[in-house]
Structure 1
């Protein structure tokens, strides 16, 4: 566990070989959606099949339940106002937790029909919310509630922060999944885990150019032969840190695979945290891990 594999000389600046991969918690069924709150030095993440959100306190090392039931929450992020914004499989919606603990439904329908099961999301510096909507939460009762889809496929959406109008920004995915902006927000990266539902289906991350509220391009940035990319985030140098089967893969901005961190169980998602932004949190099947790095995560805004 924690074996580091160097595939490019540049990776030597990204990791410290004396740092230890720490297991902070186990007992999850499928750990997902880590989101870090700098003001509180706390991380919130999802344990989807157990229908709960958990919270890790950096100052004490303690884990507690943040919300139970969570309506099968999957992806989480923090907006510019420090509020938790979440994708709910059960409610099939985007939900915001206000500072007083109340809940606000931001979006649950497109053109009058219910969303499938929002999976992962990111908030841009203009407060718009971009999210993926595969059907994993309605495929069975394991990570949500089995139901028939009302949309004509699995797509990617943008929620306007001023009008609350939901627009479809990409419709050529099989199962859109992880999503993140490059540090300068000029490109949007989206994973397609369509290989879970189609033989020889996609197992890649695509990169789009961002023009206001529109996407163009969409070329394949990275591809896997075994397993899937799920959630990912960027460091401040524009390198992409992503879940990849039982490892975390690190890619240079030009798409070169720099190295791997082998975790030992299926990795679902990652995010940066810690007082200096250089602690990589890893959600992997049953557990929450952390690894201290010599590099920092990109600033969200």
Structure 2
């Protein structure tokens, strides 16, 4: 009996040590990035084990939403970091944005489309085909400007559900007008992924997962989008059969116009001029990110099934949800 009791105590102690080791493995602090984070800022671990983590966005009630795309649902992170299911049956929503009217817009991947998913009484499709009647491959990320224009990327048929290539458009960047007119902005980016706008909405940023650069497009006063240009060169390139890849994914800007990029090395931060400022390394490779919480002074990061939160020195841009 004593031997059995001792064994149980040993097992309990071993379990506690393993749990402690797992928690310590999640703990990480940042290096200093002026205006972004102080050295030693804790990277707060929220939760792991999600099946797909994408598309975080600040919600109007102070919470943060993100998509668990492989389970076709949206998860809510409360201000106290507890999580709950916010919405089921999302058609594989991958990224989220709010329209100027407060509608929740999503790029969706099971039946590829872009559409309003909330409020449910006003749910509708904004785009399901491009101008040549070809369907989308895998709509990936989006941002909605103050005028209601929806900018989004289609990274091509690279998801679990592979549409017919003879009926699927090549990877591209698009814009949908408030009148539902779709315009192709770029079709020469190998794998367009993350997308966002500068605070003044005069610059559109697009990440190329399969390349070395973040691209920028100037938008003039009449809304015309100019040609692409190289904005920032990314670090941590990995060689693939198609050349070097940055793994660039989600993008977000702060109130000072800095651009934050989820990539192979973590969160790479650039000035509004494209100058590299530093990198926040994470326990797992990030996929997407957004500012949220009180005053939008926390950077929420999702990736590889895990969710983290980092307090920042500069708040996220307040003029849009993301």
Q: Which has the larger share of helix?
A: 2
TM-score under structure 1 length normalisation: 0.87
Give the total of aligned pairs. Answer: 282
Q: The residue matched to 1:49 in structure 2 has which SS? A: helix
Q: Report the more deviating stretch, 126-135 or 103-112.
A: 103-112
Question: Deviation string for 1:19-72 (max 9, x for gaps)?
Answer: 3211112111331110111x31111111222332211111x4321112233222
Shift of 1:203: 3.1
Q: Greater relative contact order: 1 or 2 (C-alpha under 8 angstroms, separation 6 or more)?
A: 1
Q: Please list, as runs of the form range in 1=range in 2, the aligned pairs for 1:46-195 lying within 5 A after superposition.
A: 46-58=67-79, 60-99=80-119, 102-111=122-131, 112-135=133-156, 138-141=157-160, 145-149=161-165, 150-161=167-178, 163-193=179-209, 195=210
Moved over 4 A (4+): none
TM-score under structure 2 length normalisation: 0.82
Shift of 1:217: 3.2
Partner of 2:28: 2
Q: The residue matched to 1:139 in structure 2 has which SS? A: coil
Q: The residue matched to 2:294 in structure 1 has which SS? A: coil
What CA distance in whole angstroms lies between the structure 2 residues aligned with 1:97 and 1:133?
Answer: 19
TM-aligned CA distance change 1:152 to 1:88, over 3 Å: closer
What CA distance in whole angstroms lies between the structure 2 residues aligned with 1:18 and 1:205?
Answer: 28
Question: Are 2:134 and 2:169, in contact at CA under 8 Å, matched by a contact in 1?
Answer: no
What CA distance in whole angstroms lies between the structure 2 residues aligned with 1:236 and 1:16?
Answer: 17
What CA distance in whole angstroms lies between the structure 2 residues aligned with 1:2 and 1:243?
Answer: 17
Q: The residue matched to 1:55 in structure 2 has which SS? A: strand
Question: Are 1:170 and 1:215, in contact at CA under 8 Å, matched by a contact in 2?
Answer: no
Q: Report the more deviating stretch, 231-240 or 241-250.
A: 241-250
2:41 to 1, 16, 19: 19
RMSD, aligned CA: 1.8
Q: Which runs of 5+ in 1 are unaligned?
A: 196-201
1:204 to 199, 209, 213: 213
Tell whether 2:38 aligns with 1:34. no
Question: Are 1:44 and 1:55, in contact at CA under 8 Å, matched by a contact in 2?
Answer: yes
Larger radius of gyration: 2
1:214 to 207, 224, 240: 224
Q: Which runs of 5+ in 2 are unaligned?
A: 1-26, 239-245
TM-aligned CA distance change 1:168 to 1:213, over 3 Å: farther
What CA distance in whole angstroms lies between the structure 1 residues aligned with 2:121 and 2:278?
Answer: 40
